[in-house]
Amino acid sequence: MEDTILTIEEVAKYIKVSERTVYDWAQKGEIPAGKLGNVWRFKKSEIDRWINDKLENNNIKGSGISDLKHLLAPERVIVTKFSTKRDILTALINNLSEAPQIKDHKKLEAAIWEREKLMSTGIGLGIGIPHVRIYTVSDIALSVAVNKTDIIDYQTLDDIPIRIVFMVAAAYNQHAEYLKLLASISRLLKNDSFKNELLKAAGPKQIFTLLTKGE
């Protein structure tokens, strides 16, 4: 019987990681794959063997979802200079809406503001993580803003002004992956020296490099 051929999207769903993770693995030769023209294709039997080998060698670290280098795109990093929560969240909503995973700008916007009404996403230590799970998102996506001034009205647990904001959107059925990513971001930014490096970074390119190498 002919072997089943899978797309990046099908492999991502099969092994429960993001499409970007599968793409990165294919580019680096870390997963068995071949190209048909400019499109990656995968044999299911080879993927099954690859998974079994990884499990036997105990090399799979969860789903890989906590690794920002597989999730954060350079264009999803912005440097801002706002003083209000509305301004910075609006800028992040606009930026995140440009990601291919986001299918409806208006529904993302409504969900973010509804989440803020329930409880502020200022988690303390100068960090905000607005986050939603909605049906109009096809896969996890995030945007990051490093603000060069204090956000004066972003309610926080410790009253420290917000300067770094991660916005996360996930599909409604991605509860486990979503929680792992939120935990990963929180863990990363608890390192004060690393956080200070982000705040001092010259621009989006340097911030992206720090975030994708900092875990």
* pLDDT tens figures, 125-150: 899 999 999 999 998 999 999 999 99
How many CB atoms are located within 10 Å of the residue 17 CB? 24
- The confidence score (pLDDT) of residue 55 equals 53
- The confidence score (pLDDT) of residue 215 equals 44
Which helix (DSSP H) or strand (DSSP E) does residue 127 occupy?
A: strand 127-128
- How many CA atoms within 13 Å lie on the side-chain side of 149? 11
Locate tokens 């945007």: which residue? Answer: 143
Q: Kindly report the pTM of this predicted structure.
A: 0.69
Q: Which two tokens stand for residue 180?
A: 């792992």
- 4-18, 102-116, 158-172, 194-208 — which is least confidently predicted? 4-18
Report yes or no: 170 and 178 within 8 Å, Cβ to Cβ: yes
Read off the pLDDT of each residue in 116-127 and give the average, rounded to a whole number. Answer: 88
- The confidence score (pLDDT) of residue 61 equals 41
Question: Residues of the chain with pLDDT > 70: what percent?
Answer: 91
How many CB atoms are located within 10 Å of the residue 173 CB? 10
- 17-31, 46-60, 179-193, 201-215 — which is least confidently predicted? 46-60
Domains of the chain: 5-57 (1.10.1660), 68-213 (3.40.930.10)
Residue 54 scores a pLDDT above 80 = no
What is the distance, to the nearest Å, from the Cα of residue 33 to the centroid of all Cα atoms in its chain? 24
Q: Which two tokens stand for residue 52?
A: 């079994």
Q: Sign of torsion, CA 191 193 194 196?
A: positive
